[in-house]
Structure 1
Amino acid sequence: MSHQQANISMKKRVTDLIVILSDGLYEREEIVAVSLLSALSGQSIFLYGLPGTAKSLIARRISKVFKDTTHFEYLMQRFSTPEDVFGPVSIRELKQDNYIRKTEGYLPTADFAFLDEIWKSSPAILNTLLTIINERIYRNGGKDEKVPLKALIAASNETPPPNQGLEALYDRFVMRIIVNPVEERENFEKLLEGDAASIDIEIPDGLQFSHDEFEQLSSEIVKVQISREVFTIINSIRVSLDEFNKDNPKVAVYVSDRRWQKIALILKTSAFLCDRTEVIPVDTLILRHCLWTLEQNREQINEIIEKCVKEFSCANNEMLNSWELNHKDLEKGVSDTFFYKENIYDTEKKEDVLNYGGNSGYDNDAFLKWFDSTPPIKIKKGTQKAVNPRTKDTFVKACEDSLSSLMEIIDEMKSYIAIQKKLNETPFVPSGKSVLVFDASNSHLKDLENHRLNAEHLLEKVQSYAISDS
């Protein structure tokens, strides 16, 4: 790493790169950012969008982030052959019964590759691509050649057609990014007035990544930890996806264990590139680009992700759940101890109800009247009892402890929000989305404050209850 690189934080470096890469590409900042993220994590990228939306330009610019790279690009079609992508067969080797391709200048020797309209290609090409993406190896004749590929970017205006055996290859494209035409009128007019965005952008040496530094990234990224909040969010997303699949079998989403591992690597890369040692909830919003499979399920999957992030992004959910259970038990204990749970009836015998005189025995009419009638209520249900001082002191102490525990949770939440507010600033999630985490935290804090009011009220009530003289 150069002295210039050593003096700049990774987050600042990546942010500066995104600004340069996005120059002249209106409404493409997030696309560029997550494409760069995926490339730096060594994962393949699928750009989904109509022709003429700058997909190839984005791919070419991303490749320029790396020093001394070779770039391969090809537009796939039905009649594409392996020779077009992997190189022609060597005639000299063929004369010696060796079926070996001359791969120099083709995909097997490229650091970066862009394949447009990938799903129009032949099975022979796509099956070979699967091996290259999986193992970074190209089997040339009887020899395995190491492929220096850092990232493969593919593009298409369609998802792979069903029942064509393309699921395994599609699964390898962990990052799936929607590239829409320019939507904002102001940006569209700028597009019309401006010159065409140039491929030949200048990236300062201090921002580019050398081959050695790219290799070092992997060893640093694996050290990044995943927070318990993120584990909770991911597990809740998995459960929600299972429910979605049951209700929507025709557009079901399958995420393999291998894919989840690659996704975790992308999230760790996001944290590392933001100068963090831990994946936090805001990083999970990147999953919006990783889990959808079809245009028909993309919006619903996005809603699932955002819902889970809102619900489980707070630091002390488990602590609060435990507190709520204990506090409910305390409320029940207070109610059972300080108040009558049932009506208490006056069952004293009345001399005029039963007649024992003479030889007639019971006065049946009087007995039946007594038996059928409801005795008068002596003490109504819900009336406060007078308990002994020791019992009251025990409950006062329990209420104080409950309130104290809740205040610790509130203080931790406030500290968490203060820390997260700064950490949530990431170039890989637009501010309009990252605010979801902050809003969820503030909403959670309001709930905690309501719990505090209830806990204080319970304590005040217990302190006011009467005690018996005994």
Structure 2
Amino acid sequence: MSPQQANSSMKKRVTDLICIFSDGLYEREEVVAVSLLSALSGQSIFLYGLPGTAKSLIARRLSKVFKDSTHFEYLMQRFSTPEDVFGPVSIQELKKDNYIRKTEGYLPTADFAFLDEIWKSSPAILNTLLTIINERIYRNGGKDEKVPLKVLIAASNETPPPNQGLEALYDRFVMRIIVNPMEERENFEKLLDGDAASNDVEIPDGLQFSHDEFEQLSCEIVKVTISKEVFTIINSIRVSLDEFNKDNPKIAVYVSDRRWQKIALILKTSAFLCDRTEVISVDTLILRHCLWTLEQNREQINEIIEKCVKQFGCANNEKLNSWELDHKDLEKGISDTFFYTENIYDTEKKENVLNYGGNSGYDNDSFVKWFDSTPPIKFTKGTQKAVDSRIKGTFVKACEDSLSSLAEIINDTQSNVAIQKKLNETPFVPSDKRELVLDAFNSFLKELENHKLNSEHLLKKVQSYEISNS
């Protein structure tokens, strides 16, 4: 299969995998989808939810995404030791005064690892995990061993306890996915009436990813670009997070530069797996799973993301901003040219009075009375001036050009709406959330129509202005 053929079928391939992994897991499609996305981008995953919500089952099924992978799984507890996760110390090597672990069959030799109740583990294990996740290296007896780990999934019903030095490790779990208990009655009854979902799933040939394909995937993903509107959305989210942190210092959210870089990689992976070469607005809704840190700030962070997508998710925002600046200059130029910007006083008598060398025509009392009063207004502020036809024609042309530029933005946006509906079809964002982007386009179109009405009104006003007869 050529690279072009592989790319054209990537979306269907991933969609089929999501369908297989979700079979029998009611209300878990999004959890499976974004977990698979994170796995294929090589980023660690944190599944957060109450016991009995199928976190372990999801992790076991996702391990099947890689062909011929080695899977490691362990349930953490307070008394877990490094031997449980990284392997026992070799007695033979110890006799030679070498402290080396036998890692075969343990996490350092696994392609795919699942650690349940991760925060219950000891600092010795968690600190070693940090190096493995960061550098894919395990230090064994003073020697660095390359770890083949592609994906680490951790699960817990709690976020890491504060003041335990776990912030750095938690920061490495870029994808943080809520796994809630079932809500729909129909699905709950299906769960009660059906068979238990199996850990094993049958995956047809051609759907799993080999090691070489995974490496090639990484090379292709970095070529994906990020659209201007996505940069605008992300920057607006960052500003909103700063404001949120000032107002909520106890539940503040810190997103490191490294974390933003990993998030961008996930967004690029989302675009590539949807057969696109560019990250678009709909992809940024995946940030709902990446930015929250505590249960107490999750909903508020979600609201910030959705608000920014609605506000800046439409293409052509930048064009409209530029048009608005030009149009404001045009309006000011029209106002300054066609209207008096301040009261113009009739100073003719005043000039005569101040002509001390001649007879002013006023006696002394009249002079003092007139001098102390305000001279009469000749032209009131806002009164229309009479300008020559050439100047008026220049402004009429400018108004017509402004309307023409706006029409181009409107036409381009309307075309984008039709295209966007197709581009928005991504398995990584639920359909109700995808509608937010279309809502942003529709709101943007309404704003454009309002600008059009105001521009047409301005043109008619300029056309109706008087011209001087001179």
Superposition deviation, residue 142 in structure 1: 2.5
* Partner in structure 1 of residue 154 of structure 2: 154
1:352-431 mapped onto 2 (5 Å cutoff): 363-431=363-431
Partner of 1:301: 301
Distance 1:70 1:2 in 2: 28
Q: Distance in 2 between matches of 1:362 and 1:37?
A: 93
Give the structure 2 partner of residue 60 of structure 1: 60
Aligned to 2:333: 333
Letter in 2 for 1:191: L
Deviation at 1:465, TM superposition (A): 1.7
Aligned partner of 2:11 in structure 1 is 11
Match of 1:342 in 2: 342
Question: What displacement does 1:383 show?
Answer: 2.6
SS in structure 1 at match of 2:200: coil
Cα distance in 2, alignment partners of residues 381 and 213 from structure 1: 74
Matched, 1:47 2:55: no
Is 1:33 the equivalent of 2:33?
yes
TM normalised by structure 1 equals 0.94
Read off the aligned partner of 1:155 and give its amino acid letter: A
Tell me, yes or no, if structure 1 residue 191 matches structure 2 residue 166.
no
What is the match of residue 448 of structure 1?
448
Alignment check: 8 A CA contact 1:2 1:206 kept: no
Structure 2 contact 76–120 (Cα < 8 Å) conserved: yes
1:76-127 deviation per Cα after TM superposition (whole angstroms, max 9, x unaligned): 0000001111111111222222211111111111111110000000011011
Whichever residue aligns with residue 16 of structure 2, its letter is D
* Shift of residue 249, structure 1, vs aligned partner: 1.2
Partner of 2:267: 267
456 and 12 in structure 1: CA distance in 2 versus 1, 3 angstrom threshold? same
Structure 2: 5+ residue stretches without partners: none
1:132 is matched with 132
Q: CA deviation at 1:343?
A: 3.6
* Cα distance, 1:468–1:121 mapped onto 2, change above 3 Å: same
* Aligned: 1:80 with 2:84: no
CA distance in 2, matches of 1:218, 1:342: 66
User: How is 1:216-295 mapped onto 2 (pairs within 5 angstroms)?
Assistant: 216-295=216-295
**How far is 1:265 from its partner?**
0.6
Map Cα deviations across residues 4-30 of structure 1 (whole Å, 9 max, x no partner).
x84961111111111111111111100
Q: Which residue of 2 aligns with 1:173?
A: 173
Per-residue CA deviation, residues 194-238 of structure 1 (Å, 9 max, x unaligned), is 111111111111211111111110000011011111111111111
CA distance in 1, matches of 2:307, 2:243: 14
Instruction: Give, in whole Å, the separation in 2 of the partners of 1:442 and 1:14.
Output: 30
Shift of 1:366: 3.2
Gaps of 5+ in 1: none
User: In the alignment, what sits opposite 1:110?
Assistant: 110
- 1:469 shift after superposition: 1.6
One-letter amino acid of the counterpart of residue 265, structure 1: L
For residues 212 and 2 of structure 2, the distance between their equivalents in structure 1, rounded to whole angstroms, comes to 12
By how many angstroms is 1:348 displaced?
5.5
Q: Determine if contact 2:7/2:275 at 8 Å carries over to the other structure.
A: no
Distance 2:94 2:381 in 1: 99
Q: Match for 1:39: what amino acid?
A: A
Task: Give the C-alpha shift of residue 264 in structure 1.
Answer: 0.7
Q: Deviations over 1:306-348 (max 9, x none)?
A: 1111111121212211211111111121122122333444555
Does 74-83 or 90-99 show the bigger shift? 90-99
Question: Take 1:189 and 1:328, find their aligned partners in 2: how far apart are those partners?
Answer: 61
Q: Which amino acid aligns with 1:420?
A: Q
CA contact (8 A) 1:137 1:147 kept: yes
* Partner of residue 317, structure 1: 317
Match of 1:64, SS state, is helix
2:384 maps to amino acid: Q
**TM-score, normalised on structure 2?**
0.94
- C-alpha separation in 2, matches of 1:348 and 1:127: 89
Q: For 2:348 and 2:250, how far apart are their aligned partners in 1?
A: 73
Measure the CA separation in 2 of the matches of 1:256 and 1:141. Answer: 32
Q: CA deviation at 1:133?
A: 0.6
Letter in 2 for 1:171: D
Q: Distance in 2 between matches of 1:64 and 1:107?
A: 17
SS of the residue 1:115 aligns to: strand
Secondary structure in structure 2 of the residue aligned to 1:405 = helix
Q: Please provide the CA RMSD for this pair.
A: 2.2
In 1, the alpha carbon distance for the partners of 2:100 and 2:172 equals 27
Change (3 A) 1:8 1:333: closer
Cα distance change, pair 266–316 in 1 and its aligned pair in 2 (3 A): same
Cα displacement (A) at 1:370: 3.0
* Cα separation, partners in 2 of 1:146 and 1:345, compared to 1, 3 Å: closer
**What's 2:101 paired with?**
101
CA distance in 2: counterparts of 1:91 and 1:214, whole angstroms: 37
Whole-angstrom distance in 2 between the partners of 1:395 and 1:319: 22
SS for the counterpart of 2:296 is coil
Instruction: Among all aligned residue pairs of Structure 1 and Structure 2, give the percentage whose two residues are the same amino acid.
Output: 89
Shift of 1:371: 3.8
Alpha-carbon distance change, 6 to 395 in structure 1, aligned in 2, over 3 angstroms: closer
1: CA distance, partners of 2:334 / 2:174: 55
2:346–2:378 contact (8 Å) kept in structure 1: yes
CA 128–7 in structure 1, closer or farther in 2 if over 3 Å, else same: closer
Partners of 1:21 and 1:32 within 8 A in 2? yes
- 8 Å CA contact 2:8, 2:275 repeated in 1: no
SS of residue in 1 equivalent to 2:295 = coil
